Amino acid sequence: MTKYEYKTIKENSYVLEIKKSKFIARGFCVNTILDCKQTINQIKKKYHNAKHNVYAFALLNGISKSSDDKEPSGTAGIQVLSAINNNNLKNTLIIVTRYFGGILLGTGGLSRAYYSSANLLIKNSEIIEKFTSEIINLEFNYKDYNKILNSKLFDINISKVEFFEKVRVEFKIKKDKIEEFNSKLKNIINYQKKS
């Protein structure tokens, strides 16, 4: 994988029962801290009667966070984060909801339960490979715009087009393809990028 590629998880859930305690792990693909906060709040509202809603997330920008949600320190959230990191996932949020079954698991048992819940969720989920992209906005005359559309030199992703006196085009380009895009664009229409 290049530095512009990453793996995440397709939304899924997995239930693990240990000594009458039920651990419901849910995985989400997220992009920002706000996405994480909103999803965590939704799950906490939905499962407000659960004893704990432990979570961890790791984002592509290097930010990660975990919460034990009143479980003994170090037994829950960090275990979920370890499962995310050990599977090399980014932009991934996992929330493990625990319904207490009346039997204490001890700190070692809790740590194993939370790690296993998250890890089994990942192993039983579809892993998605994603690419980081950049939005590039350019303006062309109609003749050059038609040249770009008719070009078979590269696969371009045009996300938005506006027709005015000139054509305004929004491209969504994989970050590892930007140099190639600029070079081929220059060859197609003799485009000079303005600095």
Query: Mean pLDDT in each 10-residue stretch from start to end of the chain (195 residues)?
Result: 79 93 95 95 94 94 94 94 96 96 86 96 94 84 86 72 92 80 82 46
Question: Please, what's the largest Cα pairwise distance for the chain?
Answer: 74
Query: What is d(CA 193, CA 182) in angstroms, rounded to the nearest whole number?
Result: 8
Q: Give φ, ψ of 94 to 5 degrees.
A: -125, 130
pLDDT at residue 3, rounded to an integer: 63
In this structure, how many other beta carbons lie within 10 angstroms of the beta carbon of residue 167?
Answer: 19
Cα–Cα distance for residue pair 124/87, rounded to 1 Å: 12
Amino acid 180: pLDDT: 82
**pLDDT number for residue 175:** 77
Q: What is the pLDDT of residue 153?
A: 58
The whole-number pLDDT of residue 159 equals 81
pLDDT attached to residue 152 = 66
pTM: 0.73
Q: How many CB atoms lie within 10 A of CB 24?
A: 20
pLDDT at 52: 94
